Chains A and B, each alone.
Chain A
Amino acid sequence: MLRIEDLTKVYPNGTRALSGVSLKVPTGQFVAVIGLSGSGKSTLMRCVNRLIEPTSGKVFLDDIEITAASDMRPIRRRIGMIFQHFNLVKRSTVMTNVLSGRLGYRSSLASLFRVFPEEDHADAHACLARVGLGDKESERADTLSGGQQQRVGIARALMQKPDLILADEPVASLDPATAHTVLDHLEQMNKRDGMTVLCNLHFLSLARHYADRVIALKAGEVVFDGGPDEIDDARFKQIYGEHAVAVEIA
């Protein structure tokens, strides 16, 4: 269970990215977060694992208060994150990128000498095989296509053995076919492994296809929270503004 209480984030320049967001996400739910650019979706994600420090409010993962934790290490390794621009270390190999998902479990000294136990290497192989990149481990990350890079990103998140996945616009830089491959992987992690998924999406059609529940943000506030089928034309205009037209993505 992920519980967010009255979460507010005001940036130093005065931008109010989130104001009083409260949510409860039961374990194993696939939640799509939609909304315009600048509506606070990315800020919400980063406040959950505290890559961004919230101004006020609380976040709980099960019974642990994330916002009060002094050591984020044991919490962050339970939360996998996937990014719009993949955020791989481009010059490192695919294998090194995947192994870095285990850093939260390993000591500074061992990582200084780039030593990972045999178990980690075996897991990394398994994760890469799972996303269909078993043969790419020794390639440099930047030689891969966009879809392949995002799958490396997923493998890196899988290495954390996470309970919660934060996916920040995971398919916004990909073509429609590749987007489905990536979201299928997320769906599988959700359905087969029981991971809770919080996923920012631009396209409502994708949210309808994959999500159990849709949360819409507008100017940092929750303006809709319900089933994907409940979003009708009126709701849509409320979220995206009067002049918006729904774009279908097959």
Chain B
Amino acid sequence: MRRYPILAGALSFVVPGLGQICAGSWRRGLTLLIGLPVQAALFYGVGLTGLIYWMALVWAWNVYDAARAARGRTTSAAGPILLILALNMIAACTVTEITVPSLGAEQRNVIGQIAGGFAKPDVYHPHSFDTGKGKTGHTVFSESVCLAAPKMLETIYMALLGTAISLLFAVPLSFFGARNLMSGSPLLKTIYGLTRALFTVLRSVEVLIFAVIAVAAVGIGPFAGVLALAIHGVGALGKLYSEAIESIDHGPIEAIRATGANEFQVVLYGVVPQVVPQFIAFTLYRWDINVRMATVIGLVGGGGIGYLLIQYMNLLQWPQAATCIWMIAGVVMVMDYASAVIREKLV
């Protein structure tokens, strides 16, 4: 085929990719052969036949590329790839109905209200009363602040308690989930595998899902939220702790074992001192994450500030909702910064 570029081009004109395959460019030929019909079928499937015409450009490139391939040259595929991506973006916009004209007057009004709420959250209320000798007045915190502040504290405490309960279970379990400590016998290896599997299962189920289950089990309220955070946290913290244990220096373990110490003492004197700073850092990090998680848990009835937030949002009370959101943002920012500073000091 090397000397017949016109033949290769003709083959690819009839069946895209065939010319490339005959010229020896297997991978590119097969991609075109399978990819183009599949892409066309996708566009047809979502009812955008117009986009298929644009693919004629790719077809033309394919003929040109086949001719070049027959001469033993490769052509950059960047152009056709970008074109296909752009066509898919158009298809995506159409399918998800996010076309700009659909923002009608009503929607614009709602967005305006929301934006207004964020710009002017409900923080202060003028408070005036008649003393009998004329009116006097001063400003007080609004009702939404008075409701949200204790709920925010509740959220932080939920996160703290959830993290503490996770820690209680994850610390002892993490030693069983550390490969370097559990490679002694087939039994130990099995325990290691089971522990890691447990961590994976607990970690892969989102907190929100645990929250829905916990609400069903113990009822609406912060206790359900704490349970959800705690259960998910055992998986998340357990994995991090185990990996911290796996990364330690094996030398001291060997040395302590050689003194005649039993396995418990080996862990206590050879492993624990090496992992304590990392354990503290991971725990702080988890608390930080849990505060953010705890704000969402309220949306499904798990207590905390999220519970208040969803009520305001359902009633379209945007300034009040904005109070909650700004409060969450402030707390998360402070915790982010504080835990980063502490972690830097430790590790």
Interface residues of A (CB under 8 A from B): 49, 51, 72-77, 79-81, 83, 85-92, 96, 100-106, 108, 111-112, 153, 156, 159-160, 166
Contact = CB atoms under 8 A, between A and B. Distances in A.
Contact of A81 (B252, B258, B262, B276): B258
Contact of A103 (B254, B269, B276): B269
Interface residues of B, number: 21
A194 B255 CA distance: 23
A101 B269 CA distance: 11
B261 A100 contact: yes
Contact of B258 (A49, A86, A111, A112): A49
A101 B259 contact: yes
A112 B249 CA distance: 21
Interface string B263-292: 011001110011011000000000000000
Contact of B261 (A49, A80, A81, A103): A103
Interface in B269-326: 269-270, 273-274, 276-277
Interface of B: 249, 251-252, 254-262, 264-265, 268-270, 273-274, 276-277
Contacts of A74: 260
Contacts, number: 84
B23 to A, nearest CB: 47
A105 B274 CA distance: 23
Given A76-B260, A79-B258, A160-B259, A85 B251 contact: yes
Nearest to A112: B268
12 contacts: A49-B258, A73-B260, A81-B259, A87-B251, A89-B273, A96-B269, A106-B265, A108-B265, A111-B268, A156-B255, A159-B259, A166-B258
A104 B255 CA distance: 12
Most chain B C-beta atoms within 10 Å of own C-beta, residue among A80, A85, A88, A89:
A89
A81 B258 CA distance: 7
Listed from nearest, the 10 A-B pairs whose CB atoms lie closest are A104-B260, A77-B260, A87-B251, A76-B260, A103-B261, A87-B255, A81-B258, A89-B252, A103-B265, A92-B273
B252 A87 contact: yes
A31 B277 CA distance: 42
Nearest to A103: B261
Contacts of B269: 89, 92, 96, 100, 103, 111
Given A51-B258, A89-B270, A111-B265, 13 more contacts: A87-B254, A89-B273, A90-B249, A92-B273, A96-B273, A100-B259, A103-B256, A103-B262, A105-B260, A108-B262, A111-B261, A112-B264, A159-B259
